[in-house]
Amino acid sequence: MSNSVILKVEHLKKYFPIKAGVFRKIVGWVKAVDDVSFEVLEGETLGIVGESGCGKSTLGMTILRLYEPTAGRVVFAGKEISRLSSSALRPIRKDMQMIFQDPFGSLNPRMRIGSIIEEGMSVHGLYSSTERKEKVRELLEKVGLSADYVNRYPHEFSGGQRQRIGIARAMALSPRLIIADEAVSSLDVSIRSQILNLMKELKREYSFTYLFISHDLAVVRQICDRVLVMYLGRIVEIADKKVIFSRPLHPYTVALISAVPVPDPDYVVDRVILHGDVPSPIHPPSGCYFAPRCPVAERCRKDEPPLVEVENGHWVACHLPGSLSLKRENGDKKC
């Protein structure tokens, strides 16, 4: 992993308009991503975690300009891309690819998989026609599929095989950054481990940088170097994977990790139960967005805590970091 920064996100926002009435006037905004800033080092795998609806997928698609940002900056490989025109952005797109959550919906059902994988190379004018077809066959074998499958359609494959096709498509342009959006969430557990191992092997071979979006903390622990925790469109904690899982400082992170199942009947975790519902992103609460569900909230209900570095590489948005600890013990007591 390099020390150079390949991706820098600064105060990024993505608001979706709410329209009502005959004339479809804007009456409000859904604050899906609300003032997010972070950096990704070249060659690392950064996990982005949080409950469903916290803005993880929207963040990934806004970084890639699949959604246009409402405000903020995205700097990729030293160049700001958040305000580039479509024509100026096109040459950069080949270096930023995405593996989508739905391995079937992301593949055109009317195209053969050879054409699906080759399409990006054709759009960017890479290689000759013969070289592209040979590259497709190599990629299929690289992701564990037979090169003879090039003329088959997506419906002829299982979910795991379709996700392998999606990975091959993302690799076809030799990108520097791959955003994997819940890439294994819809797969069976046995297939999930195969796909994760494949992604790790490909990273070792090609030195990709991954943004790995997931709600499954066990998966994130297996594949990521650092972890970014989101809640209601905002970052609440960023740290090295080992630090996050051993010493989380934000109460929300503590609650998430305490809910991860442990495959040991003698290993006890005191669950942190969050009461109440997630606030609406249309009318978020004042102060810290997590305050209405936080068991230790005090001044947080009025004063929004900034994201600050409390120790080397460990960033937390909390006025009382570490006030809620993750309690674990090994003993005779059963879960």
**Closest of 28, 25, 4, 8 to residue 16, by C-alpha:** 28
Read off the pTM. 0.89
pLDDT value at position 215?
86
The residue type of 7 is L
pLDDT value at position 232?
93
d(CA 195, CA 136): 19
pLDDT value at position 156?
93
Domain boundaries, the chain: 5-249+311-318, 250-310+319-335
Query: In tens digits, what is the pLDDT along the chain, a chain of 335 residues?
Result: 667 999 999 999 999 999 998 888 999 999 999 999 999 999 999 999 998 888 999 999 999 999 999 999 999 999 999 999 999 999 999 999 999 888 788 899 999 999 999 999 999 988 999 999 999 999 999 888 999 999 999 999 988 899 889 999 999 998 999 999 988 877 777 788 888 888 888 888 888 899 999 988 888 988 999 999 999 999 999 999 999 998 999 999 998 888 877 776 666 667 777 887 888 888 888 889 998 888 888 788 888 899 999 999 999 999 888 887 776 554 444 33
pLDDT value at position 249?
92
Q: What is the CATH number of domain 5-249+311-318?
A: 3.40.50.300
